[in-house]
Amino acid sequence: SDHKVSQSVYLECRARGINHFDTAHTYTKGLAETWLGAFLRDERDEIFVASKVGYVGGADPKNLSVQFDESRSRLRQDVVDLLYLHRFDPHTPIEKTLAWFAEQKDEGRIRHIGLSNFAAWQIAKAHFIGQTIGAKISAVQPMYSLIKRQAEVEILPACTDLGMQCFSYSPLGAGLLTGKYVDQKGEGRLTTNARYAKRYGIEEMHKCAAALAKIAKE
């Protein structure tokens, strides 16, 4: 990560009217939140800030509290607009986790509750439990792009039916859809991260990316 490059990207986004910025406690070991907090400090009222907790260490309230306090400190914010549970934790009762989120909302630390990396049945379960304890789920964040469309089968219809907003992650397929990996010349996560290389190492995905790059040039 490069601070100057990141700041230039932020400023370009703002110049083009983008005001929703998504980060997480675990991203780049905290640098993403720290830098975002510095970038937006003079225009906080104009920015919608989303972050995530619970990817590491589970969804127990104690762990979530520690991570959320760290996130707010890095972001230099008392309030986060949207806080996601970063992934489903099968070892912690969802009722216990959602009660913690409800408490954060009641005390004014968050404005909206979200779920990231949840299957459709997990979303539905959290939705109905949340309704009974004051933890309304406002948003869901699945992986979704032209080359990763599984969310269309159940997750997107579930969001529509349950009245939730959907904010996808990896909409450019971890960079594959930018065209920079056409002819295998690009550098980035798909060449340096084994997990991402495997996820996007499918021939049809690369054909799609090449076709999209051709259309973009035209």
Q: Active-site residue among 10, 27, 169, 196?
A: 27
CA distance 85 to 190: 26
CA distance 101 to 95: 10
What lies within 8 Å, CB to CB, of 145 at 6+ separation is 168, 170, 171, 172, 173, 177
The Cβ of residue 81 has, within 10 Å, a number of other Cβ atoms equal to: 15
For β-strands 20-22 and 48-53, DSSP reports them as parallel
Orientation of helix 94-106 relative to helix 61-75, angle to 10°: 40
DSSP 59: S
Cα separation of the two ends of the chain: 32
27 is known as an active-site residue: yes
Nearest to 204 by CA among 161, 173, 180: 173
Residues annotated as part of the active site: 27
